[in-house]
Each structure stands twice: as structure tokens, then as C-alpha cells.
């Protein structure tokens, strides 16, 4: 790619921003002046880094309404300091009421974790998805169609990441301190735009089993 093409790509963004500035200037509700002072979102969205699944556009929410963390395949890994820091800030400072783990059909990260190819350093990240595959290998391996296989793993992965969130010390402590906090799992169908609730909502650690019941 030549420097001219690079500049054209960047110009698209600069021009797009001019349109946004115009929109902000013409808004007479005062909300952008308010947002400039601080944020008070009620939702934390943990989604895939995929360019096709932007949190605000998909949910009809505006700037200031959703706190967002995205990584490859919307993973909640217990030792991931970036995810933990976002979670801690969202739960303990912003006091969000809902956390949504949002996967999507056609997820490249999930498809890659089913394949037996090596991709490089990302394999270490994909191993976390392979762990979910291992837990549900019997069900996944019984699906013949490669696309359906990956889509089922997308759903199972979302549920597993919801569980991972529930068992973090951050969520456990929030619940034991009486916080109103619900953790949901959803899957996006990019083709239709639908956000499909996976009915795996947790609002306390009561249903997590005795392994995650801590002594008071
Ligand atoms: Zn993805």
C-alpha cells in the first residue's frame, strides 16, 4: 500500500470526525457538555474486537451509556489484568447494574480455536476457547457442519465467560456486599442484527455451586 492510499484511509476518519463535530455542535440538549465532565453508564459490555459488532450501534445506545471492553472472542480470563481493571472500575467505581458478555456468530477467534491450525502467539489466547471446546467436545464434535459447530461453540463460550465473570473476586465481593448486579450472556447475529439472550443470567452466587461459596 502506498502513502497515498494510507492517507485516503486516514482522511475517511478525519472527514467522518468533522461530521461528528457538526452533530455535537448542533445538539442543543447540553448532553455533550455534561458528558465532558464525567460518565455514569449502567452497563458494562464485554464483546469481541471484531469490527462488525460495535456495542453502541447494536444496542441503540449513545455515548456515555455503555462502558466497553473488547478482545478477541469476548473472553473473561481470570488473570487478564486489562479485563480485571475494566471490571473493577465498572463494578466498584461506576457501579454498573448490568454486565453483558456478547459473542457473535461467525466469530473468527472461535472458528480458529476449533481448527487444528497453529496461528502464532494468538494460539495462547485461543487456548482459553479451546478449554471451552474441551468441556463440550462431545456435543461440538457431533455437529457435522463446520459453521454450525463454530456457532454452537460461540453460544457455549458466552455462557462459560459469564461464569468466569461471576467467579472473579470483584463480582463475588460486589454480590456479598449487596450490590444490584446482573451478569448476562448474549449472542449477536450479524446478518439480522439481533442480540439473542442466552438465558444464563446470574444475579448472585447462590447458583454457582459449593465450590464458589466462600466462608463468611
Ligand atoms: Zn469474534
**Catalytic positions, written as ranges:** 48, 50, 52, 104, 107
pLDDT, tens digit, for every residue of 91-110?
Answer: 999 999 999 999 999 999 99
Ligand 1: centre distance to CA 154 (Å)? 9
Asked whether the predicted pLDDT for residue 1 surpasses 70, the reply is no
pLDDT, tens digit, for every residue of 178-200?
Answer: 999 999 999 999 999 999 999 99
Ligand 1: centre distance to CA 129 (Å)? 11
What integer pLDDT is reported at residue 56 of this predicted model? 98
3-state helix, strand, coil in the chain (%, to 5): 50, 15, 35
Ligand 1: centre distance to CA 25 (Å)? 35
Domain boundary assignment for the chain:
1-38, 39-212
Ligand 1: centre distance to CA 170 (Å)? 25
What integer pLDDT is reported at residue 213 of this predicted model? 86
Distance spanning both ends of the chain, measured CA to CA: 61
Could you give the residue ranges of the DSSP H alpha helices within the chain? 3-26, 31-37, 55-59, 81-88, 108-114, 122-135, 137-141, 146-166, 169-176
Average pLDDT in the 31-36 region? 96
**Mean pLDDT taken over the chain:** 96
Fold of 39-212: Beta-carbonic Anhydrase; Chain A (3.40.1050)
Ligand 1: centre distance to CA 188 (Å)? 10
pLDDT, tens digit, for every residue of 139-155?
Answer: 999 999 999 999 999 99
Helix (H, G, I), strand (E, B) or coil at 50: coil
Asked whether the predicted pLDDT for residue 216 surpasses 80, the reply is no
The conformation of residue 215, written as its DSSP 8-state character, comes to P
Average pLDDT in the 75-89 region? 98
- Separation of alpha carbons 163 and 76, rounded Å: 9
Amino acid at each position: 500500500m502506498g502513502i497515498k492510499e494510507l492517507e485516503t484511509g486516514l482522511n475517511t476518519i478525519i472527514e467522518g470526525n468533522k461530521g461528528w463535530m457538526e452533530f455535537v455542535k448542533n445538539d442543543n440538549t447540553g448532553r455533550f457538555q455534561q458528558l465532558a465532565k464525567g460518565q455514569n453508564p449502567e452497563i458494562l459490555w464485554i464483546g469481541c474486537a471484531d469490527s462488525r459488532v460495535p456495542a453502541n450501534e447494536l444496542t441503540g445506545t449513545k455515548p456515555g451509556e455503555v462502558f466497553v471492553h473488547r478482545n478477541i472472542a469476548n473472553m473473561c480470563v481470570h488473570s487478564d489484568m486489562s479485563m480485571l481493571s475494566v471490571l473493577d472500575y465498572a463494578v466498584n467505581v461506576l457501579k454498573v447494574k448490568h454486565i453483558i458478555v456478547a459473542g457473535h456468530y461467525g466469530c473468527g477467534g472461535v472458528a480458529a480455536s476449533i481448527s487444528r491450525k497453529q496461528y502464532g502467539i494468538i494460539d495462547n489466547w485461543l487456548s482459553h476457547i479451546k478449554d471451552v471446546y474441551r468441556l463440550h467436545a462431545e456435543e461440538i464434535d457431533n455437529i457435522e457442519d463446520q459453521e454450525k459447530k463454530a456457532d454452537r461453540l460461540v453460544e457455549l463460550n458466552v455462557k462459560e465467560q459469564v461464569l468466569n465473570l461471576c467467579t472473579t473476586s470483584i463480582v463475588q465481593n460486589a454480590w456479598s456486599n449487596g450490590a444490584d448486579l446482573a451478569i448476562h450472556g448474549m449472542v449477536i447475529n450479524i446478518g439480522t442484527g439481533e442480540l439473542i439472550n442466552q438465558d444464563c443470567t446470574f444475579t448472585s452466587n447462590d447458583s454457582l455451586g459449593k465450590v464458589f461459596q466462600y466462608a463468611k
